[in-house]
Structures are given as structure tokens and as C-alpha cells.
Amino acid sequence: MPVMRIKSFLNKPTFKSKRKSKKSFYNDNVSLKVKDGKQVLIEKVGWISTNEQIPIGVKYTNPRITHDNKYWYLSVGIEQETSQEEMTDVSLGIDIGVKALAVCSNGTVYKNINKNNAVKKTVKRFSRLQRQVSRKYEMNKEGNRFVKTSNVIKIEKKIQLLHRRLSNIRKNHLHQSTNDIVKTKPYRIVMETLNIKGMMKNRHLSKAIAKQCLYEFKRQIQYKCEKYGIEFVEADKWYPSSKMCSSCGSIKKDLKLSDRIYECVCGHKMDRDLNASINLAHYQLAN
Ligand SMILES: [Zn+2]
């Protein structure tokens, strides 16, 4: 049975750990008691309300209490029954990339959020502020020392907020896309193995962010599959999902990265990523 981690935060900021040096501690699971899903009994502290519903009627494991300088959090593993009964007989292949975030074998396409106009605008503003702040540092330099003027502090605050906004937009988009996918209830999901070494070599920041999103996308699909009882399959890294014709199975060795349309000698013609996702959907473990 898979263990899902949930995080609920406690809304009593006056609550303090007795062990001063540690910002987190474990609570004994035996004594973790939950009242109406809205209150939790913490050892030696008492009943604490949470701002979110705590799942009830389940077994809790490894409860942990942490603090992030703003809120107290309760993280707890819960054991959940998974059921196979409502699944469809669809094997869903997902091809992930930079052009689109994900193309599914059922034809659904999830956009790359970084190509969204609002996001592009925010990124532009972000880089403008970064240039502005480094110019100001240069201007106010005293010998070898950089000086933080009140103006610099103001701009840096704006940068922090924009950074937070961008990362929230990206995270939300990933969660929405992965939720949407698992809710189609395929009995299994097949994805390709991501090439870690090739990705680490990438020096361009925007591309690095895109790749990072791909990892996060895959991680989310994986744990959401576990949560819903969907089989998760990672295709062998030599599986030619892009180069194979999803209609006749022949391999196109000279397929270039710039070829957006897959064209086969058999007459089959299809969007390159959709062709790849269909091949992933048909992946056989014995391959
Ligand atoms: Zn073909």
C-alpha cells in the first residue's frame, strides 16, 4: 500500500517546541489523535487546530512537525486503499518535451506554460529588475564593497515576489495538468526515461527551467499514479518512441529534431510528439 504525504499547517503561531535548537520534531504516531479532522493532539502541547481537513479513519505514519519561519506544518503519511475497479482499459503514453509540456496518446496536449504571454511578460519584468539591481550595485560600489541602498532593497523585494509568482504559476500548471491526466483513469501510464546527464550539461537557464519542470511533471505523475492505483511504466531508454512509426512499426533512422511531422514510407503522417506518445502507449515490458 502506498503512503501519501499530506501537509496541513497549524494555525497557532504561539506553539513552540521545547527543544530550542530544532525546528522540527517527530510526534509519536500512537498518540497522534485527530478530532473531527480539524484538530490534532500533539504530545505535551495539547489540541491544535489545523487550517485544512486532516483525513480521518486512516492509519497515520511518521507524523512530523516543522516550522518555516512563518507557519507550523504537520506532515503525516497516511495509508490509503487503492482500487483498480474504476480504471478504463486505456494504456496512456505521455511524450514530454519543451515545445509542449506533454502530448498524450489520446490526443490531449498540455502547453508549455513558459510560452504563455503573461508568463513571458513576468519573466521580462523579472530580468529587467535584475539588470536594474546589478546596475545599482555597480553605481554605488565603494571601493571593492557593494552597498545595499534602500532602493536596492526595494527592488530585491520585488524580485523575490516575482520569483515566487513565477514558481507558483509553473507549479499550478504542472499540478493541473497531472491531475487532469490521472483523472482520465487509464489502467497504466507509460513515459520515457529522462536523460539526466544530457540535461545537466545545458547551460541555458530558460531551458534548464523547462527541463526541471519535466522532472517535476514526471515525479507528480508517478506519485499520482500510486495514489490512484494506476500502473506507472518507464520505457527502456533505448525504446525508439520518436523514431518508430506508430502505424507500421518501421524505424526512421534519419529523423531530425527539427522534423515536427513524422512521415513514414507506409504513408502514415502525424505530429511527431503524438506519434511518440502512441508508441509509448503500446510499449511492451518484454521489449
Ligand atoms: Zn509506417
Q: pTM of this prediction?
A: 0.69
Give the C-alpha separation, 69 to 31, whole Å: 26
The counts of H helices and E strands in the chain are 5, 14
**Distance of alpha carbon 104 from alpha carbon 95, whole angstroms:** 6
Residue 13 banded pLDDT, cuts 50, 70, 90:
very low
| Continuous H helices in 107-245 | 117-139, 150-182, 196-200, 205-228
∠ CA 244-246-249, nearest 5°, is 55
Better-scored residue on pLDDT, 152 or 60 = 152
Instruction: Please tell me the least confidently modeled range out of 23-27, 41-45, 166-170, 237-241.
Output: 23-27
Ligand 1 centroid, distance to 113 Cα (angstroms): 32
Q: pLDDT at position 159, please?
A: 93
Handedness of CA 82, 228, 192, 284 (dihedral sign): positive
CA–centroid distance, 84 to ligand 1, in Å, is 35
Q: How do residues 266-277 score in pLDDT, each as one tens digit?
A: 999 999 999 999
Q: pLDDT tens digit string along 154-212?
A: 999 999 999 889 988 998 999 999 999 999 999 999 999 886 545 555 555 556 666 67
Q: Ligand 1 center to residue 252 CA distance, Å?
A: 9
Q: Is the pLDDT of residue 70 over 70?
A: no
More confident residue, 174 or 49: 174
